[in-house]
Chains A and B, each alone.
Chain A
């Protein structure tokens, strides 16, 4: 009994208990306050508001679970969906999108660094470049918002970016998990960034080398600017950059990506906060959901097949791109209003597409198993 109690007062159980208790208590309190409300209310009824807050929290938790498992920021799912399917102003969405992108990264930071799979020295080095890019990207986004009529173009541009990411995830799914680095340049060697870690799934110590840090940092500036501009973080790009350019093992790259994302967005988010684009009541349930979902997602990461989640993500990305393109073209009056039935048909097609991809991938895996 004593041992059991001691276990629950130790990390990681302690944080889980505190967070679950706080979630239950706060939403019960909100519901009671709304139920006891008397008289006429100017604006949205309090109970409707509480239901929205709860819905935001639950959606955010689900997004964080998927985002951490896929090694991406939640903003890449949140921002396009909100832009495509709600009438909320694009700056408010992109500002909240950065909150969504960064907090799942922040909560997974402690877990990955403690496990040794994250590499702090590499993360701060990449953050220097990416942070500068993100700051300029966020300023650019707010400056562009002052120009009337820019909104449809932002939606269309984000649609293009998202389609490109979706295609990348489709064709680049089978990346090299453990890249072999034969030659390390002098500058990278000088930084001494390598850090061995214990690979749980294979019960062995992995010692990896890093190369091309200078070109990598150049690319990180561009990635940072893109993430800061669109308010969706940059985990979707920083993971492949580390894997393909720096030669870092995929698992380390995914863990580092979350850490870098958290640090970079601590820089990129401030222009939004300082111009009032982050409205506390709107952003808070998204923030809390990211922390709770990201926490459990970090521990689930090792148990769930990442390939399946990646396939779901491809479906989400293509469906959201469709919404962004049609929404943008409608605003530019290039096409008539798309009926909701058409969106539903596209959504069903995407589900069929995801199931087909999962089936093909499973067949390939089982064939590989037989041949082996």
Chain B
């Protein structure tokens, strides 16, 4: 069996895979350097990381941990206004990785349209909207 006899892989699948692959690696690189920024510039970081780590290990709840910040937890997308801070960069790395399926599905949907595979345009759109819905915090359980 030579390479030419291998079944063709749909372009939508290849594009989706490539998007997820590179965005995940970007998120990994950012997550490696965000702690460096946190420790290198503690004054440009929202929370005192030394206190924070001790609090985590002593079993404090997220509410108690964030209560150290004036005004409490600044919201899941706090990186938007604090991208140059250590925790802002760290939160951005997490948010980027956790939203990867949205960006990859946008690319896959475009390919599904080109492949005239409209059923999977709809299914992919639904999964993408479900992720966007979860990201938006539209339903607040508190």
Contact = CB atoms under 8 A, between A and B. Distances in A.
27 contacts: A22-B32, A29-B36, A42-B48, A42-B51, A43-B51, A43-B54, A45-B50, A49-B53, A88-B59, A89-B59, A91-B62, A92-B56, A92-B65, A95-B62, A103-B97, A107-B21, A110-B18, A113-B20, A128-B126, A142-B141, A191-B119, A262-B101, A263-B101, A274-B137, A275-B76, A284-B35, A288-B28
A103 B28 CA distance: 9
Nearest to B29: A22
B13 A113 contact: yes
A204 B1 contact: yes
Interface stretch (A264-272, A304-312, A318-326, A340-348): A264-272
A200 to B, nearest CB: 10
Contacts of B139: 139
Interface of B: 1, 5-7, 9-10, 12-14, 16-18, 20-22, 24-25, 27-29, 31-36, 38-40, 48-63, 65-66, 73, 75-76, 87, 90-91, 93-95, 97-102, 105, 108, 119-120, 123-124, 126-127, 130-131, 134-135, 137, 139, 141-142
Contacts of A268: 134
Going nearest first, the 8 A-B pairs with the smallest beta carbon separation are A110-B21, A113-B17, A280-B90, A43-B50, A291-B28, A274-B76, A43-B51, A276-B73
Majority secondary structure, A binding face: helix
Interface string A88-124: 1101100100010011001101111110101111001
Contact of B54 (A44, A50, A110, A143): A44
B53 A52 contact: yes
Contacts of B13: 113, 116, 118-121
B116 to A, nearest CB: 12
Nearest to B28: A291
Contacts of B17: 109-114, 118, 120
Range for the number of chain A residues in contact with chain B = 35 or more
A245 to B, nearest CB: 19
Contacts of A280: 34, 87, 90-91, 93-94
